[in-house]
Structure 1
Amino acid sequence: MMINLFSSFDPSTSFNLSLNWMSMMIGLLFIPPMFWLIPSRMNFLWIKISFILHSEFKILMGKNSKGTTLIFISLFSLIMFNNLLGLFPYIFTSTSHLVLTLTLALPLWLSFMIYGWLNNTLHMLAHLVPQGTPGILMPFMVCIETISNIIRPGTLAIRLTANMIAGHLLMTLLGNTGPNLTFIMINLLIIIQLMLLMLESAVAIIQSYVFAILSTLYSSEVN
């Protein structure tokens, strides 16, 4: 019995241990089999996805990519694994916590900012005033651009967390109404839950892609 609606996102267990965070390591168990049967279909699929992501990230980053795309492909893989694993029963969704998402977003953004301001100071200053801005609006634009730049890691983290929580909460709310429904309504509820599960699977992949793409865009701005 849940104490409250958000107790499903509580990282503590019945043994008062935070073993739920071990769910982040479960993804590693699915990776090795693809290397035992080469070329397997799973291996072909993952190589194809990696090549597609590499080509897209390379276009966004320009000529200065030089293998940096591998960092963002790894980031995409980590988030997608955790998002999809969270859809399985009794597996903790680690990406629904700001602790994890901020841990991913903040160091990335901070490293971009430190690199940009130390090596491309004039380029970073030019980003604070968009091209064609009237002189009278320049002070306001500098303030707006500075604020929008500072809140980037927060928006990255909150976007991923909110999307993971929203879908899981909706499925939990609908699932808890099951015991009080008639036979016909339970069948309808199962169909709705299956459709929601498909939607959540799509959201899990899309949100990991959005996180990786936005991180790539932020890195391209400092070059």
Structure 2
Amino acid sequence: MTNLFSTFDPSTNIFNISMNWSSTIIGLMMIPTLFWLTPSRINIMWNKLSLTLHNEFKTLIGSNSFNGTTLIFISIFIMMMFNNFMGLFPYIFTSTSHMALTFSIALPLWMSFMLFGWINHTNHMFTHLVPQGTPPALMSFMVLIETISNMIRPGTLAVRLAANMIAGHLLMTLMGNTGNSLTLSLMSMLILGQILLLTLESAVALIQAYVFSILSTLYSSEVY
């Protein structure tokens, strides 16, 4: 049990450089390319996914946003989705289960939103600190609460993704380690449970990528 989290350690070193993090860009090899005169089915699916995400993000951000803003969040969604799915394969390092990656993406996003909002729309940012309909006696407390909730946003974004990725992988590891001591009948139940858990983890990989990108979009919509 003391070595339980060792499966998440980036331990592959070549020339004192951890090569596990190279799994972060493994999705680039799966991006469909235009080899054909007419689009392939993969390209059509890819374009439909990007268009669907663009329409949804555009609705959340609003019409006052800059053109091309949704491309940032579509790119984040695709990157997170690929990394979450790649981590489900054996011997592939799950980079999104580490705060070093999730926090380094969430913090610059949140910082850029805050700087843009406070520099260009200062009055609008102040109005967000006091929700509409707040009693005068609670205004000072609401400013404090809203400020704290705003400050912890990058941390909650990073922890939410990393914790969900670690939880599923850890449960699969614990179930897999008990296989040596089980009988044949219990082994079949264990395999069935692992298959069901892997299906759940596939859904979690997609949902967590969507949650990360949709929350980033909502945070950016507050600065306009």
TM-score, length of structure 1 as denominator length:
0.96
1:37-48 alignment runs, 5 A limit: 37=36, 38-48=38-48
**Percent of aligned pairs sharing the same letter:** 67
Match of residue 5 from structure 2: 6
Match of residue 19 from structure 2: 19
- Residue 124 of structure 2 is aligned to residue 123 of structure 1: yes
Q: Structure 1, residues 71-124: CA drift from partner, whole Å, max 9, x if none?
A: 100010011010000000000000000000001100000000000000000000
> 2:34 aligns to what SS in structure 1?
helix
- Provide the C-alpha distance between the structure 2 equivalents of 1:58 and 1:7, rounded to a whole number of angstroms: 41
- Provide the C-alpha distance between the structure 1 equivalents of 2:206 and 2:104, rounded to a whole number of angstroms: 19
Give 1:12 shift: 1.8
Match of residue 134 from structure 1: 135
- The answer to whether the 8 A contact 1:34-1:40 is kept is no
Q: Which runs of 5+ in 2 are unaligned?
A: none
Q: Structure 1, residues 108-152: CA drift from partner, whole Å, max 9, x if none?
A: 000000000000000000000000101110000000000000000
> 1:63 aligns to what SS in structure 2?
coil
Match of residue 55 from structure 1: 55
Match of residue 160 from structure 1: 161
Write out the 4+ residue segments of structure 1 that deviate beyond 4 Å after TM superposition.
Answer: 14-17
Q: Number of aligned residue pairs: give it.
A: 221
- Provide the C-alpha distance between the structure 1 equivalents of 2:80 and 2:64, rounded to a whole number of angstroms: 25
Give 1:17 shift: 4.3
> 2:62 aligns to what SS in structure 1?
helix
TM-score, length of structure 2 as denominator length:
0.95
> 1:90 aligns to what SS in structure 2?
coil
- Provide the C-alpha distance between the structure 2 equivalents of 1:190 and 1:103, rounded to a whole number of angstroms: 36
1:1-223 alignment runs, 5 A limit: 4-13=3-12, 17-31=17-31, 33-37=32-36, 38-65=38-65, 66-223=67-224
- Provide the C-alpha distance between the structure 2 equivalents of 1:14 and 1:123, rounded to a whole number of angstroms: 49
Moved more, 36-45 or 92-101: 36-45
Give 1:188 shift: 1.0
- Provide the C-alpha distance between the structure 2 equivalents of 1:149 and 1:132, rounded to a whole number of angstroms: 20
- The answer to whether the 8 A contact 1:101-1:160 is kept is yes
Q: Which runs of 5+ in 1 are unaligned?
A: none
- Provide the C-alpha distance between the structure 1 equivalents of 2:111 and 2:149, rounded to a whole number of angstroms: 14
- The answer to whether the 8 A contact 2:77-2:212 is kept is yes
- The answer to whether the 8 A contact 2:86-2:94 is kept is yes
Moved more, 182-191 or 123-132: 182-191
